[in-house]
A and B are shown apart, each in its own frame.
Chain A
Amino acid sequence: MTADKSILLEVQGLKKYFPVTEGLVFLRTAGYVKAVDDIDFELPERQTLGLVGESGCGKTTTARVILRLEEPTSGRVCFQGKDVSRLGGADLRRYRAAVHAVFQDPTSSLNPRMRVGSIISEPLEVSGKIPRSEIKDRVKESLDFVGLNQDSAGLFPHEFSGGQRQRVALARAFALRPRLIVLDEPVSSLDVSIRAQILNLAKDMQEQAGISFLLISHDLATVRYMSHRIAVMYLGKIVEAGARDEVYSHPLHPYTSALLSAASPLRPGDQQKEVVLTGEVSSPLNPPSGCRFHPRCDRRMKSCSDTEPQLKPAGADHQVACHLY
Chain B
Amino acid sequence: MALDATREKTPVANWKLALRGVPWIPAFVLVTMVLVAIFADFIAPHSPTETSLPHKLQPPFWQAGGSTTYLLGTDALGRDVLSRLMFGARYSLIVSLAAIVVGTSFGAALGLIAGYCGGWVDSLIMRATDVMLSLPVILLALLLAVSLGPSFITIIIIVAAVLWARYARIIRGEVLYWKTQDFVALARVAGASGFRIISRHLFPNVLNTLLVLATMQVGWAIIMEGSLSFLGAGVPPPTPSLGSMVSDGRNYIASAWWIAMFPGLAILLIVLSMNLFGDWMRDAFDPKLRQM
Contact = CB atoms under 8 A, between A and B. Distances in A.
Contacts of A99: 189
Q: Which of B187, B190, B192, B201 has most chain A Cβ within 10 Å?
A: B190
Interface of A: 64, 67-69, 92-93, 96-97, 99-101, 103, 105, 108-114, 119, 122-123, 126-127, 147-149, 151-152, 155, 158-161, 164, 172
Contact of A96 (B4, B5, B191): B191
B11 interface: no
B3 to A, nearest CB: 6
Given A109-B182, A110-B183, A161-B4, A67 B189 contact: yes
Given A111-B204, A114-B204, A122-B192, A101 B186 contact: yes
B182 A147 contact: no
Nearest to A154: B6
A152 B5 contact: yes
Nearest to B190: A123
Contacts of B67: none
A105 B182 CA distance: 8
27 contacts: A67-B189, A68-B189, A69-B188, A96-B190, A99-B189, A101-B185, A101-B186, A103-B182, A103-B185, A108-B182, A108-B183, A110-B183, A111-B181, A111-B200, A112-B287, A113-B204, A123-B191, A126-B191, A127-B190, A148-B1, A149-B1, A149-B6, A151-B6, A152-B3, A158-B287, A164-B3, A172-B186
Nearest to A165: B5
Interface of B: 1, 3-6, 181-183, 185-193, 196, 200-201, 204-205, 207, 287
A246 B186 CA distance: 34
A122 B191 CA distance: 9
Contacts of B191: 92-93, 96-97, 123, 126-127
Given A109-B182, A127-B190, 7 more contacts: A103-B186, A105-B182, A108-B183, A119-B183, A122-B187, A126-B190, A164-B3
B196 A111 contact: no
Closest 8 CB pairs of A and B: A96-B191, A113-B204, A123-B190, A108-B182, A109-B182, A159-B5, A111-B183, A103-B182
A147 B232 CA distance: 68
A149 B207 CA distance: 30
B196 A126 contact: yes
B190 A122 contact: yes
Contacts of A127: 190-191
Contacts of B192: 122, 126
Nearest to A97: B191
Contacts of B207: 113
B79 to A, nearest CB: 50
B204 A164 contact: no
Given A155-B5, A158-B287, A96 B205 contact: no
Contacts of A159: 5
Contacts of A152: 3, 5-6
B190 A108 contact: no
Nearest to B188: A69
B203 to A, nearest CB: 9
A127 B185 CA distance: 16
A56 B275 CA distance: 46
Max count, chain A CB within 10 A of own CB: residue among B188, B191, B201: B191
Nearest to A109: B182
Contacts of B188: 67-69
Contacts of B287: 112, 158
Nearest to B6: A151
Contacts of A126: 190-193, 196
Given A158-B287, A159-B5, A113 B189 contact: no
A123 B187 CA distance: 8
A114 B201 CA distance: 8
Nearest to A182: B189
Contacts of B201: 111, 114
Contact of A101 (B181, B189, B196, B205): B189
B123 to A, nearest CB: 13
A155 B6 contact: yes
A147 B1 contact: yes
Contacts of B6: 149, 151-152, 155
Residue among A93, A111, A112, A123 having the largest count of chain B Cβ atoms under 10 Å: A111
Contact of B5 (A114, A119, A164): A164
Contacts of A161: 4-5
Contacts of B193: 126
Contacts of A64: 185
A64 B183 CA distance: 14
Contacts of A68: 188-189
